[in-house]
Amino acid sequence: MSTIVLDSSNLYGTDNNTLVYKFPNSVKFDNHEIAVQSVTMYYSWENINDTTLSNNVFSLQWVSGTSVSTYQIVIPSGLYEVVDLNNYLQFFCIQHGLFLIDDNQKFVYYAEMVVNAQQYAVQINTFPVPLTLPVNWTAPTADPVTGQGAWPGFPTATFNPALIFPPSFNEIVGYAANFSTGLNQAPSPNAGQNLSFYSSVSPQVQPNSSIYLSLSNINNKYAVPSSIVYSISPTVAFGEQINSVPPNFTWNKLINGTYNEIRLQILGLNKQPLILLDGNMTIMLSIRDLKDSGLGEIMNRLQGNK
Protein backbone atom coordinates (compact mmCIF):
# COMPACT_ATOMS: atom_id res chain seq x y z
CA MET A 1 0.00 0.00 0.00
CA SER A 2 1.26 3.47 -0.91
CA THR A 3 0.32 6.91 0.38
CA ILE A 4 0.18 10.16 -1.55
CA VAL A 5 -0.24 13.56 0.07
CA LEU A 6 -2.05 16.57 -1.38
CA ASP A 7 -1.65 19.98 0.23
CA SER A 8 -1.78 23.66 -0.67
CA SER A 9 1.11 23.18 -3.10
CA ASN A 10 -1.20 21.01 -5.21
CA LEU A 11 -3.96 23.61 -5.53
CA TYR A 12 -5.13 24.40 -9.05
CA GLY A 13 -7.13 27.52 -9.87
CA THR A 14 -8.21 30.33 -7.55
CA ASP A 15 -11.10 28.84 -5.54
CA ASN A 16 -9.08 26.38 -3.40
CA ASN A 17 -11.36 23.49 -4.41
CA THR A 18 -9.19 21.57 -6.88
CA LEU A 19 -5.96 19.74 -6.07
CA VAL A 20 -3.78 18.02 -8.67
CA TYR A 21 -1.17 15.42 -7.73
CA LYS A 22 1.33 14.78 -10.52
CA PHE A 23 3.25 11.50 -10.42
CA PRO A 24 7.03 11.72 -10.98
CA ASN A 25 6.48 9.38 -13.93
CA SER A 26 3.43 7.97 -15.67
CA VAL A 27 1.87 5.20 -13.59
CA LYS A 28 -0.06 2.19 -14.87
CA PHE A 29 -3.09 1.19 -12.83
CA ASP A 30 -4.47 -2.18 -13.84
CA ASN A 31 -5.69 -3.69 -10.58
CA HIS A 32 -5.55 -0.91 -7.97
CA GLU A 33 -7.84 0.69 -5.42
CA ILE A 34 -7.74 4.08 -3.72
CA ALA A 35 -9.21 5.40 -0.45
CA VAL A 36 -9.14 8.55 1.66
CA GLN A 37 -6.77 8.14 4.59
CA SER A 38 -7.29 11.50 6.33
CA VAL A 39 -8.36 15.09 5.71
CA THR A 40 -7.18 18.20 7.54
CA MET A 41 -8.63 21.51 6.39
CA TYR A 42 -10.29 24.66 7.68
CA TYR A 43 -14.02 25.34 7.84
CA SER A 44 -13.90 28.21 5.38
CA TRP A 45 -16.85 28.00 3.00
CA GLU A 46 -19.59 30.61 3.08
CA ASN A 47 -23.32 30.19 3.63
CA ILE A 48 -24.21 33.60 2.15
CA ASN A 49 -22.90 34.35 -1.33
CA ASP A 50 -24.18 36.55 -4.14
CA THR A 51 -22.85 34.44 -7.03
CA THR A 52 -22.66 30.76 -6.07
CA LEU A 53 -25.70 30.67 -3.77
CA SER A 54 -27.69 33.79 -4.79
CA ASN A 55 -29.05 34.06 -1.24
CA ASN A 56 -27.69 37.39 0.01
CA VAL A 57 -30.78 39.62 -0.30
CA PHE A 58 -33.96 40.18 1.70
CA SER A 59 -36.25 43.19 2.11
CA LEU A 60 -37.64 45.47 4.80
CA GLN A 61 -40.80 47.54 4.38
CA TRP A 62 -41.31 50.73 6.40
CA VAL A 63 -44.05 53.37 6.54
CA SER A 64 -43.42 57.11 6.84
CA GLY A 65 -46.58 59.21 6.85
CA THR A 66 -48.70 57.18 4.46
CA SER A 67 -45.84 56.18 2.14
CA VAL A 68 -44.53 52.61 2.14
CA SER A 69 -40.84 52.24 1.33
CA THR A 70 -39.23 48.91 0.49
CA TYR A 71 -35.54 48.64 1.37
CA GLN A 72 -33.39 45.94 -0.18
CA ILE A 73 -30.89 44.57 2.31
CA VAL A 74 -27.80 43.15 0.59
CA ILE A 75 -25.60 41.02 2.84
CA PRO A 76 -21.87 40.81 2.05
CA SER A 77 -20.71 37.30 1.23
CA GLY A 78 -19.55 35.37 4.28
CA LEU A 79 -20.56 32.80 6.87
CA TYR A 80 -23.36 33.97 9.18
CA GLU A 81 -25.23 32.56 12.12
CA VAL A 82 -28.75 33.84 12.82
CA VAL A 83 -27.37 36.28 15.40
CA ASP A 84 -25.08 37.70 12.70
CA LEU A 85 -28.02 38.17 10.34
CA ASN A 86 -29.88 40.02 13.09
CA ASN A 87 -26.83 42.18 13.74
CA TYR A 88 -26.66 43.05 10.05
CA LEU A 89 -30.37 43.92 10.04
CA GLN A 90 -29.76 46.30 12.95
CA PHE A 91 -26.72 47.78 11.19
CA PHE A 92 -28.89 48.42 8.14
CA CYS A 93 -31.52 50.12 10.33
CA ILE A 94 -28.84 52.38 11.80
CA GLN A 95 -27.64 53.34 8.31
CA HIS A 96 -31.18 54.35 7.32
CA GLY A 97 -32.40 55.84 10.60
CA LEU A 98 -34.97 53.10 11.17
CA PHE A 99 -34.74 53.06 14.97
CA LEU A 100 -35.32 55.27 17.99
CA ILE A 101 -33.20 56.05 21.06
CA ASP A 102 -34.86 55.49 24.43
CA ASP A 103 -34.39 57.46 27.65
CA ASN A 104 -31.45 55.20 28.58
CA GLN A 105 -29.72 56.02 25.29
CA LYS A 106 -30.29 52.49 23.99
CA PHE A 107 -31.19 51.91 20.37
CA VAL A 108 -34.68 50.48 19.89
CA TYR A 109 -35.29 48.34 16.81
CA TYR A 110 -38.68 47.26 15.51
CA ALA A 111 -37.81 43.94 13.86
CA GLU A 112 -35.49 41.13 14.87
CA MET A 113 -34.44 37.55 14.04
CA VAL A 114 -33.65 35.19 16.91
CA VAL A 115 -33.07 31.45 17.30
CA ASN A 116 -35.89 29.55 18.99
CA ALA A 117 -34.19 26.30 19.95
CA GLN A 118 -37.36 24.76 21.42
CA GLN A 119 -39.24 25.26 18.13
CA TYR A 120 -36.16 24.43 16.01
CA ALA A 121 -36.93 27.64 14.18
CA VAL A 122 -35.82 31.14 13.37
CA GLN A 123 -38.27 33.39 15.18
CA ILE A 124 -39.11 36.76 13.65
CA ASN A 125 -40.44 39.42 16.00
CA THR A 126 -41.85 42.74 14.81
CA PHE A 127 -43.06 45.61 16.98
CA PRO A 128 -45.44 48.51 16.34
CA VAL A 129 -43.78 51.81 15.48
CA PRO A 130 -45.21 54.70 17.55
CA LEU A 131 -47.11 57.59 15.98
CA THR A 132 -45.18 60.20 18.00
CA LEU A 133 -41.89 60.32 19.83
CA PRO A 134 -42.17 58.79 23.33
CA VAL A 135 -41.31 61.07 26.27
CA ASN A 136 -37.54 61.53 26.77
CA TRP A 137 -36.79 59.52 23.63
CA THR A 138 -34.92 60.92 20.63
CA ALA A 139 -34.99 60.23 16.92
CA PRO A 140 -31.72 59.66 15.04
CA THR A 141 -30.23 62.41 12.91
CA ALA A 142 -27.90 61.98 9.96
CA ASP A 143 -24.26 61.59 10.91
CA PRO A 144 -21.86 61.37 7.96
CA VAL A 145 -18.99 60.32 10.25
CA THR A 146 -20.68 57.21 11.67
CA GLY A 147 -22.90 56.58 8.63
CA GLN A 148 -26.03 56.88 10.75
CA GLY A 149 -29.15 57.84 8.86
CA ALA A 150 -31.91 60.28 9.84
CA TRP A 151 -35.35 59.23 11.11
CA PRO A 152 -37.64 59.13 8.04
CA GLY A 153 -40.71 60.45 9.87
CA PHE A 154 -43.54 59.01 11.92
CA PRO A 155 -46.43 57.12 10.32
CA THR A 156 -49.99 58.40 10.35
CA ALA A 157 -51.19 54.94 11.40
CA THR A 158 -49.32 52.42 13.49
CA PHE A 159 -47.56 49.57 11.67
CA ASN A 160 -45.01 46.82 12.20
CA PRO A 161 -42.02 46.74 9.85
CA ALA A 162 -42.36 43.88 7.35
CA LEU A 163 -39.53 41.48 6.56
CA ILE A 164 -39.75 39.77 3.15
CA PHE A 165 -37.68 36.68 2.31
CA PRO A 166 -37.17 36.05 -1.42
CA PRO A 167 -35.70 32.85 -2.91
CA SER A 168 -33.09 31.61 -1.90
CA PHE A 169 -32.60 33.58 1.30
CA ASN A 170 -35.86 32.09 2.59
CA GLU A 171 -34.17 28.68 2.95
CA ILE A 172 -31.58 30.12 5.33
CA VAL A 173 -34.27 31.16 7.82
CA GLY A 174 -36.77 28.39 7.04
CA TYR A 175 -39.69 30.31 5.52
CA ALA A 176 -41.58 29.93 2.25
CA ALA A 177 -40.23 31.86 -0.72
CA ASN A 178 -41.44 35.49 -0.71
CA PHE A 179 -42.87 35.15 2.80
CA SER A 180 -43.72 38.51 4.37
CA THR A 181 -44.44 39.28 8.02
CA GLY A 182 -46.82 42.01 6.84
CA LEU A 183 -47.18 45.66 7.89
CA ASN A 184 -49.95 44.86 10.40
CA GLN A 185 -51.89 48.06 9.79
CA ALA A 186 -55.58 48.62 10.54
CA PRO A 187 -58.01 47.01 9.82
CA SER A 188 -55.81 44.08 10.85
CA PRO A 189 -57.13 42.74 14.18
CA ASN A 190 -53.53 42.66 15.44
CA ALA A 191 -52.76 46.30 14.59
CA GLY A 192 -50.66 47.91 17.30
CA GLN A 193 -49.49 44.56 18.74
CA ASN A 194 -46.19 42.70 18.81
CA LEU A 195 -46.06 39.87 16.27
CA SER A 196 -43.99 36.69 16.22
CA PHE A 197 -43.43 34.23 13.38
CA TYR A 198 -41.70 30.85 13.26
CA SER A 199 -39.94 28.91 10.51
CA SER A 200 -42.35 26.70 8.57
CA VAL A 201 -39.56 24.29 7.57
CA SER A 202 -36.16 23.50 9.08
CA PRO A 203 -33.78 26.44 8.56
CA GLN A 204 -30.84 25.62 6.30
CA VAL A 205 -28.47 28.14 7.83
CA GLN A 206 -25.54 26.40 6.13
CA PRO A 207 -26.61 25.18 2.66
CA ASN A 208 -23.42 23.11 2.52
CA SER A 209 -23.58 21.40 5.90
CA SER A 210 -21.61 18.54 4.34
CA ILE A 211 -19.08 18.51 1.53
CA TYR A 212 -17.91 15.81 -0.87
CA LEU A 213 -14.51 14.77 -2.14
CA SER A 214 -14.55 13.84 -5.81
CA LEU A 215 -11.64 11.95 -7.33
CA SER A 216 -10.67 11.44 -10.95
CA ASN A 217 -9.67 8.02 -12.27
CA ILE A 218 -12.45 6.13 -10.47
CA ASN A 219 -15.94 5.00 -11.36
CA ASN A 220 -18.09 4.48 -8.29
CA LYS A 221 -21.29 3.11 -9.83
CA TYR A 222 -23.18 3.65 -6.57
CA ALA A 223 -22.47 7.40 -6.33
CA VAL A 224 -23.72 10.43 -8.28
CA PRO A 225 -21.47 11.70 -9.64
CA SER A 226 -19.51 8.48 -9.92
CA SER A 227 -16.31 10.15 -8.73
CA ILE A 228 -17.40 10.79 -5.12
CA VAL A 229 -15.22 8.95 -2.57
CA TYR A 230 -15.77 10.68 0.78
CA SER A 231 -17.91 13.22 2.66
CA ILE A 232 -17.14 15.58 5.54
CA SER A 233 -19.50 17.29 7.98
CA PRO A 234 -17.80 20.03 10.00
CA THR A 235 -18.24 19.83 13.76
CA VAL A 236 -16.17 22.94 14.50
CA ALA A 237 -16.84 26.67 14.33
CA PHE A 238 -16.20 28.70 11.20
CA GLY A 239 -12.46 29.25 10.74
CA GLU A 240 -11.45 26.31 12.92
CA GLN A 241 -9.60 23.23 11.74
CA ILE A 242 -11.45 20.11 10.61
CA ASN A 243 -9.72 16.77 11.20
CA SER A 244 -11.49 13.86 9.54
CA VAL A 245 -10.22 10.29 9.65
CA PRO A 246 -12.47 7.48 8.36
CA PRO A 247 -12.89 4.61 10.83
CA ASN A 248 -12.37 2.21 7.91
CA PHE A 249 -11.00 2.77 4.45
CA THR A 250 -13.63 2.77 1.72
CA TRP A 251 -11.74 1.42 -1.25
CA ASN A 252 -12.66 2.44 -4.79
CA LYS A 253 -11.25 0.74 -7.87
CA LEU A 254 -9.08 2.90 -10.07
CA ILE A 255 -10.02 2.75 -13.74
CA ASN A 256 -7.46 0.70 -15.63
CA GLY A 257 -5.07 2.90 -17.56
CA THR A 258 -1.86 4.87 -17.46
CA TYR A 259 -1.97 8.24 -15.68
CA ASN A 260 0.39 11.08 -14.94
CA GLU A 261 -1.86 12.77 -12.36
CA ILE A 262 -4.75 12.38 -9.92
CA ARG A 263 -7.21 15.25 -9.57
CA LEU A 264 -9.34 15.81 -6.45
CA GLN A 265 -12.22 18.28 -6.20
CA ILE A 266 -14.16 19.53 -3.18
CA LEU A 267 -17.91 19.79 -3.91
CA GLY A 268 -20.92 21.23 -2.11
CA LEU A 269 -24.21 19.43 -1.54
CA ASN A 270 -25.33 20.55 -5.01
CA LYS A 271 -22.37 18.56 -6.38
CA GLN A 272 -20.78 21.76 -7.72
CA PRO A 273 -17.23 22.92 -6.86
CA LEU A 274 -17.22 24.71 -3.51
CA ILE A 275 -15.37 28.00 -3.04
CA LEU A 276 -13.05 27.80 -0.02
CA LEU A 277 -11.59 30.92 1.59
CA ASP A 278 -8.60 29.03 3.04
CA GLY A 279 -6.51 26.71 0.90
CA ASN A 280 -4.41 25.43 3.79
CA MET A 281 -5.20 21.71 3.83
CA THR A 282 -3.66 18.25 3.80
CA ILE A 283 -5.43 15.29 2.22
CA MET A 284 -3.84 11.85 2.37
CA LEU A 285 -4.86 9.09 -0.05
CA SER A 286 -3.92 5.42 0.09
CA ILE A 287 -3.43 3.26 -3.01
CA ARG A 288 -3.17 -0.51 -2.91
CA ASP A 289 -2.34 -3.07 -5.59
CA LEU A 290 -4.78 -5.97 -5.33
CA LYS A 291 -2.29 -8.32 -6.96
CA ASP A 292 0.30 -7.70 -4.27
CA SER A 293 -2.21 -8.29 -1.48
CA GLY A 294 -3.73 -11.38 -3.08
CA LEU A 295 -7.17 -9.75 -3.05
CA GLY A 296 -7.26 -9.57 -6.84
CA GLU A 297 -7.03 -13.34 -7.22
CA ILE A 298 -9.68 -13.90 -4.55
CA MET A 299 -12.03 -11.45 -6.25
CA ASN A 300 -11.49 -13.07 -9.62
CA ARG A 301 -12.35 -16.48 -8.17
CA LEU A 302 -15.47 -15.13 -6.51
CA GLN A 303 -16.54 -13.65 -9.83
CA GLY A 304 -15.87 -16.93 -11.60
CA ASN A 305 -12.85 -15.64 -13.56
CA LYS A 306 -10.20 -18.32 -13.99
Distance CA 36, CA 286 (A): 6
Distance CA 71, CA 84 (A): 19
Distance CA 286, CA 37 (A): 6
Given this model, what pLDDT does residue 234 score? 93
Q: Is the pLDDT of residue 14 over 50?
A: yes
Model pTM? 0.84
Q: What is the pLDDT of residues 239-249, one digit of tens each?
A: 999 999 999 99
What CATH architecture does domain 2-45+208-302 belong to? Answer: Sandwich (2.60)
Give the side-chain half-sphere CA count within 13 A for 239.
Answer: 3
Name the segment(s) of the chain with CATH classification 2.60.120.1100: 2-45+208-302
Distance CA 190, CA 192 (A): 6
Stretch 5-27: mean pLDDT: 95
- Which comes out higher in pLDDT, residue 225 or 29? 29
Given this model, what pLDDT does residue 305 score? 53
Given this model, what pLDDT does residue 304 score? 54
Distance CA 230, CA 132 (A): 60
- Detail the DSSP E strand segments found in the chain: 2-7, 18-29, 32-42, 57-64, 67-74, 100-101, 107-108, 111-116, 121-126, 162-165, 179-180, 195-198, 211-215, 228-232, 241-244, 252-253, 257-267, 282-289
Phi-psi region of 239 (alpha: psi -120 to 50; beta: other; left: phi over 0): left
